[in-house]
Structure 1
Amino acid sequence: MFFTYLRRELRRRRKAALVVASGLALGIALVIIVSSVSSGMSKAQDKVLESLYGLGTDMTVTKAAAAQGSGGTERPRFEFDAKDDEDATQSTDRVMVQGFQTLASSTVGKVGEQDGVADAVGGLSLTVMKVDGQFKRGEFKQDESAGQSGQGGPGAGQGGSGQPQGRVEGGGASFDVNSFTVYGTDVTQQDLGPLTSSKITKGRTFKAAETDAKVAVVDSAYAKEKSLAVDKTVTISGTAYTIVGVSTADSGDAAANVYIPLKQAQTVADSKDKVTTVYVKAADSQQIDTVKAAIQKNISGTTVTTSADLADTVSGSLSTASDLASSVGKWLSIAVLAAAFLVAGLLTSSAVSRRVREFGTLKALGWKSGRVTRQVVGEALVNGLMGGVLGIAVGLAGAYAVTAVSPTLSAQLGSTGGGGGPMGGGPGRQTASKTLDIALTAPVSLTTILVAVGLAVAGGLIAGAFGGWRASRLRPADALRRVA
């Protein structure tokens, strides 16, 4: 009897049911779209951070920045020998530690011993500045007019001393300055660090036994620019490294142009047993702040930067859109959903008011107030489920449209304090910030769908509560007055 009456009433009041379902659907669809876009924003920010940190890295440890004016920086010096052959090309390069801030390699072990640290690995980030070109001698041009009038007479000036007068023309120097970045990676632990943000597309990665081998992996963009390939060599400070692989960054620019074993990086930079950055993976992602506090307390002179700290430095359209999605979008969806629930409740209550004669007659025939209330709540619940189905369909369509269009957002990651390295700022690290273009997607998770179903049920129950309360107050006498 319940379902028969329910089906008949819903069919008889299709327009009213559609209005209630559409209102709920609008709120639920907006919640799905905002949630999926926010999830896409979060994934986009993760890609930005991974392009610097590498996969699996929860935080980095660098040397604390030196006090202002306390030194610690130096200017690169380049020296050239004098050569008789003016056409000879001269070349020299300088390997510098990024940020000029290093930690002892033993710091890696100390960090790994802290509670909550699952793994820690060190890396050395370098910048190589290469200068090459040639000098050209100038040609001496004698001043003929001075030679004719200056035979010891008055006003001859220094011409009277027998020295030729004239000027030097031409000559000078022409030098090109090129720079590229080098990252020294611990080849025995390649599951942490910036190299994990790139995939090997040609050749291979490092072998665990190549801790001090003269081998290198180069970024694909840099390889294309310099016409490098597997089995060719790249020269760093006079040392040739055989290219064993070419890597391609998953998103944006690579963390470095060239990757070499850590020991080799320490050798060419004259930084034995030194690292610029310690990459840390936490045992529990929920305890990152606790691990950070422990490292800062137990290892002095260090700066710990977490993913959350780095995310605060993200700016650009990605950051703006993320703020809008998390603040304006969230409150807008809540407001629309609340309004949809309220409208559904008022419409259901109004529909009950128009059915006074019907419910009064049913009560006169023996229906109790509870049965009438259950009938009204049942109708409202079905309307809510219909709105949920419609809202999920519209929300999925909206999320799919965002993913299909994939609007491109720019993210600029500013440098943070501390030592050098792909993440750090520090003295001399003026190029630490980088801009990436990220394609936005809107993934819809099962959790979001379940939340939408819950909202649909909640909307139906709220609307039923309004209508049931109104129906429970009806009396058979009300129906008799309407008939009269």
Structure 2
Amino acid sequence: MFFTYLRRELRRRRKAALVVASGLALGIALVIVVSSVTSGMGKAQDKVLQSLYGLGTDMTVTKAAAAQEEGQAQRPRFRFDAQDSDSDEEQSSDRVMVQGFETLSSSTVSKVGAQDGVSDAVGGLSLQVIKVSGQFTRGQFQQDGGGEQPGGGTGQPEGRVQGGGADFDVNNYSVYGTDVSKPELGPLTSSKITSGRTFKASETNAKVVVADASYAKEKKLALGDTVTIKGVKYEVIGIATPESGDAAANLYIPLKQAQTLSDSADKVTTIYVKATDSQRIDAVKSAIQKNISGTTVTTSADLAETVSGSLSTASDLATSVGKWLSVVVLAAAFLVAGLLTSSAVSRRVREFGTLKALGWRSGRVTRQVVGEAVVNGLVGGALGIGLGLAGAYVVTAVSPTLQAELGAAGGGMTGGGPGGFGGGPAREAASRTLDVALTAPVSVTTIALAVGLAVTGGLIAGAFGGWRASRLRPADALRRVE
């Protein structure tokens, strides 16, 4: 009887039911789109941060370089020998310098790894290589002429030197020494090997190199080619493509090789740390800073505070304005649905009075009204889910590009080690910009939320109408003439 009457009433009042369902559908669709876009923003930010510190890295440990007084800064010096031969030979000179932070002893890696709450820790060495190569060209003496001096002597020839000079090219690139014994942690984990292979655990001191894809394309490097760094030849065994943003370094070599090239035996610039539990990251950070003096510990949360640009702005809008807009629209939809249902009850006073006269109790009348409202809510929920999914699909299909500007934020975050929080050796500027494509993934939780909102909207609307219907008296209802 309940469902039969329900079906007939909804069919008889199709327009009113559609208006209520449409209002709820718009509110629910907006909630789905905003929730999906917010989720996409979060994933985009995670992707940006992952491209900086590497997959699995919870924090980095560094030591800020000591401030140098004016005139004390060490600059690279290049020396070229004079050539006495007639041939113009090319000369070159490499300078390999530690970049970013002050070096830490390799023993510090073990100290960090021994801290409570630390699952694993590895060290890395950030280097900058400046190579100057070119040649000197001998000038040609052009004689203007000579003359006899008084007394019969011969004068010195007069003239000038033309041509000659020096033509040198400067090649500046970054190299990162990575601990090949623990490939699951460190800067190279933020890139995917798209050609060749990564390092083997046995290649701790091998003369092999993994090149960033962009750098390999620029220098026309292929698998099996050799790269010369400070006179040492390294074989290219793999090409790495960063998952997002730019690469941590142009070239990756085993840590021991990097230490040898830079005369930094048993030294690292960055320590990558993985915590045993993500809930203990703050406690681990405090423990490291307390027990290992002079170090700076930076977590992903610290780096997230430095992300600005359109990605950050859009994320703030989606989180604050978007959510509040969803709440306002949803509240308005619930209110309109309740008012429309209550208004519909007022137009059915004679009907409910007749049903009460026939023996329907107030509770049964109330349940009938609430049932109709819940069905309207479910219909609105179905429409809202459809509209929300369509909106999320449009956002994902269009994939608008947002920019994430990453700036230094103190704590030794300027020019950090590759994969370290704040940039790598290829990131000399204090800030840089990454382009991120926005998506709007719809989760099962979002769909469940939409269904819950639909039922809630129906119950709220039914509560308005049911309350009015339960207060009707049969005698008053039957006296009303419509």
| Percent identity between the two aligned chains | 79
Structure 1 position 91 matched with structure 2 position 129: no
Whether the 8 Å contact between 1:73 and 1:100 is mirrored in structure 2 is no
Aligned to 1:4: 4
For residue 301 of structure 1, give the secondary structure of its aligned residue in structure 2.
coil
Aligned to 2:104: 103
Change (3 A) 1:425 1:325: closer
Deviation at 1:454, TM superposition (A): 0.9
Structure 1 position 119 matched with structure 2 position 120: yes
Q: Give, in whole Å, the separation in 1 of the partners of 2:198 and 2:10.
A: 66
Where do 5+ consecutive residues of structure 2 fail to align?
none
Change (3 A) 1:23 1:69: farther
Matching residue within 310, 314, 331 for 2:303: 310
Structure 1 position 375 matched with structure 2 position 375: no
Deviation at 1:250, TM superposition (A): 1.7
Deviation at 1:387, TM superposition (A): 0.8
Q: Give, in whole Å, the separation in 1 of the partners of 2:368 and 2:225.
A: 80
Deviation at 1:139, TM superposition (A): 4.0
Matching residue within 431, 455, 468 for 2:466: 468
Change (3 A) 1:309 1:151: farther
Aligned to 2:448: 450
Greater CA deviation, 258-267 or 106-115? 106-115
Deviation at 1:248, TM superposition (A): 1.6
Greater CA deviation, 41-50 or 410-419? 410-419
- For residues 326-405 of structure 1, what are the structure 2 equivalents within 5 Å? 326-405=319-398
The two structures have a TM-score, normalised by structure 2, of: 0.92
Whether the 8 Å contact between 1:396 and 1:444 is mirrored in structure 2 is yes
Whether the 8 Å contact between 1:58 and 1:288 is mirrored in structure 2 is yes
The superposition leaves residues 270-301 of structure 1 with CA deviations (integer Å, 9 ceiling, x where unpaired) of 11111111111122222322222222222211
- The residue type equivalent to 1:197 in the other structure is S
Aligned to 2:417: 421
How many matched pairs?
474
Change (3 A) 1:252 1:427: closer
- For residues 182-221 of structure 1, what are the structure 2 equivalents within 5 Å? 182-221=175-214
The superposition leaves residues 161-186 of structure 1 with CA deviations (integer Å, 9 ceiling, x where unpaired) of x7776654433221111111111111
- The residue type equivalent to 2:449 in the other structure is V
Q: Give, in whole Å, the separation in 1 of the partners of 2:430 and 2:226.
A: 27
For residue 66 of structure 1, give the secondary structure of its aligned residue in structure 2.
coil
Aligned to 2:79: 79
Aligned to 2:29: 29
- The residue type equivalent to 2:376 in the other structure is N
Deviation at 1:477, TM superposition (A): 2.7
The two structures have a TM-score, normalised by structure 1, of: 0.92
Change (3 A) 1:327 1:47: same
Q: Give, in whole Å, the separation in 2 of the partners of 1:379 and 1:40.
A: 36
Q: Give, in whole Å, the separation in 1 of the partners of 2:113 and 2:438.
A: 36
Change (3 A) 1:327 1:235: same
Deviation at 1:28, TM superposition (A): 0.8
- The residue type equivalent to 1:468 in the other structure is G
Q: Give, in whole Å, the separation in 1 of the partners of 2:217 and 2:224.
A: 14
Whether the 8 Å contact between 2:208 and 2:236 is mirrored in structure 1 is yes
Q: Give, in whole Å, the separation in 2 of the partners of 1:369 and 1:433.
A: 69
Deviation at 1:235, TM superposition (A): 0.9
The superposition leaves residues 11-66 of structure 1 with CA deviations (integer Å, 9 ceiling, x where unpaired) of 11111111111111111111111111111111111111111111111111111353
Whether the 8 Å contact between 2:300 and 2:421 is mirrored in structure 1 is no
- The residue type equivalent to 2:452 in the other structure is G
Whether the 8 Å contact between 2:228 and 2:234 is mirrored in structure 1 is yes
For residue 45 of structure 2, give the secondary structure of its aligned residue in structure 1.
helix
Provide the aligned C-alpha RMSD in A: 2.5
Whether the 8 Å contact between 1:101 and 1:426 is mirrored in structure 2 is no
For residue 24 of structure 2, give the secondary structure of its aligned residue in structure 1.
helix
Q: Give, in whole Å, the separation in 2 of the partners of 1:256 and 1:4.
A: 71
Where do 5+ consecutive residues of structure 1 fail to align?
153-161
Greater CA deviation, 63-72 or 331-340? 63-72
Change (3 A) 1:360 1:348: same
Q: Give, in whole Å, the separation in 2 of the partners of 1:304 and 1:393.
A: 46
- The residue type equivalent to 1:273 in the other structure is D
Change (3 A) 1:252 1:426: closer
